[in-house]
Amino acid sequence: MADTITIIDNRTGKKYDLPIQHDTIKALDLRQIKVKDDEFGMMGYDPAFMNTASCVSKITYIDGDKGILRYRGYPIEQIAENAQSFLEVAYLVLKGELPNKKQLEDWRYNIKMHTMVHENVKTLMEGFRYDAHPMGIFISTVAALSTFYPEAKQVRNAEVREKQIYRLIGKVPTIAAFAYRHSKGMPYVYPDNDLTYAGNFLKMMFKAGESPYKVNDTLEHALTILFILHADHEQNCSTSAMRVIGSSECDPYSATAGAAAALWGPLHGGANEAVIHMLDQIGSMKNVPGFIKEVKDGKGRLMGFGHRVYKNYDPRAKVIKKMAYEVFEVTGRNPMLDIALELERIALEDEYFVKRKLYPNVDFYSGLIYQAMGFPLDLFPVLFAIGRTTGWLAQWEEMLTDPEQKISRPRQVYLGSGSRNWVPTIDRK
């Protein structure tokens, strides 16, 4: 059986044999299909990239129909069950293999050496209004790091790239915590490198006054898992943004800020915040059927449900749902959990959702946990960005080292006016 596909252009009767590799054809191979020699040639038209592979990747595998997610081949359930720390998983995602003891020690050391931010970064953050959204502060501050590390522009230098990776993974929790404390008017707490990645973040967030801060094991574990579950998700909106921005060979701080901006929207990383608003608006169990009816009538969406890729239960949502109960043992049950469970129960049986294969996604339960742990709503996308920075950087590194990649530049189908002459203001209708 030949690995080719034959296309017959019915406009001309011409036949074209295009090679198939990994179940794809090269879009550039379509260009030979034309009616006249001087035509541009055929392109694929794919708004929102519904069926276009923009790269080859060895980082994350998703089978959306079966609800499978793997980092570097390891199923997410096994990773969540066995990983000892977030940085162990970050190493796996970035380097492709699980680290041995020495590799992990070195990796940890290198990242922990970069958790502090320059004092001027603090000054910069102080310039934001007291009520500035922490995601806005986060995005701007990450972008500003490019001015502190001008050598980061040397993106073709592997050593320089590695150093920026340490810096970004090390500093994003610090920036996130400072953004939160700024909004509360609380003094910043500096990183404690004796703690784990998640433990240090909890301390920088919640330590009050001079009393020592004791990290709660369950909450530290829950946050570690949440960071792990968000570490990468192949070519989603923010990761594609990272690759597109990075393809112009700008520094990784600017690219990461752009990716974080893409993450902020309610259809992407902002969805967990939207879930809480939705549950709040529903208010009580008795209003759930009415709310479902409104969604089915097209008057809104069931936030935290549906996914471009998963047409099955999001495997991350399964892990989070289980963990929610462990967290609530410590924090007390989030009163909105019952509404969420009821929404899920109805939606999983209702024909509208079943037919469209709408299942809970990662954001459906993560917000409830974050809220129970004391994180304010507007910090939710920032928490997502802390975990995802690892994935963005892994994809950025892969993009830069892939000889097939070039500056990103999609095509368009132009349907505007043909050529016409300029009309002076006085003659315009």
Contact between 60 and ligand ACO by CB under 6 A: the answer reads: no
Active site residue 307: yes
Contact between 163 and ligand ACO by CB under 6 A: the answer reads: no
Whose Cβ is closer to ligand ACO: residue 251's or residue 363's? Answer: 363
Size of the site for ligand ACO (CB under 6 A): 18
Active site residue 363: yes
Contact between 392 and ligand ACO by CB under 6 A: the answer reads: no
Start-to-end Cα distance in the chain: 63
Binding residue for ligand ACO (CB under 6 A) from 72, 161, 171, 307?
Answer: 307
Binding residue for ligand ACO (CB under 6 A) from 320, 358, 373, 393?
Answer: 358
Burial zone of 221 (CB within 10 Å; 0-12 exposed, 13-18 middle, 19+ buried)? middle
Whose Cβ is closer to ligand ACO: residue 199's or residue 258's? Answer: 258
**Contact assessment for residue 393 and residue 169, using Cβ atoms and an 8 Å cutoff:** yes
Binding residue for ligand ACO (CB under 6 A) from 76, 189, 362, 372?
Answer: 362
Q: Residue-wise over 95-110: b if at least 16 C-beta within 10 A, else e?
A: eeebbeeeebeebbeb
**Contact assessment for residue 54 and residue 38, using Cβ atoms and an 8 Å cutoff:** no
Extract the tokens encoding 149. 């590390």
Binding residue for ligand ACO (CB under 6 A) from 174, 196, 200, 361?
Answer: 361
Give residue for tokens 């990662």: 362
379: closest CA among 132, 116, 126?
Answer: 132
Residue 71 phi, psi dihedral angles, 5° rounding? -100, 125
Catalytic residue among 268, 277, 280, 314: 268
Whose Cβ is closer to ligand ACO: residue 252's or residue 304's? Answer: 304
Catalytic residue among 114, 182, 233, 307: 307
Closest contact distance (angstroms) between CB of 107 and ligand ACO is 26
Binding residue for ligand ACO (CB under 6 A) from 122, 133, 153, 268?
Answer: 268
In terms of DSSP bridges, do strands 4-9 and 68-71 run parallel, antiparallel, or are they unpaired?
unpaired
Looking at 71-79, 114-122, 149-157, 264-272, which segment touches ligand ACO (CB under 6 A)? Answer: 264-272
CA 218 centroid distance within chain: 24
3-state secondary structure of 160: helix
3-state secondary structure of 196: coil
As a whole number of angstroms, the distance between CA 153 and CA 253 comes to 9
Contact between 304 and ligand ACO by CB under 6 A: the answer reads: yes
Active site residue 217: no
Which residues between 281 and 300 bind ligand ACO (CB under 6 A)?
295
Residues lying near ligand ACO in the complex (CB under 6 A) are found at 267-269, 271, 295, 301-308, 356, 358, 361-363
Q: Which residues are catalytic?
A: 268, 307, 363
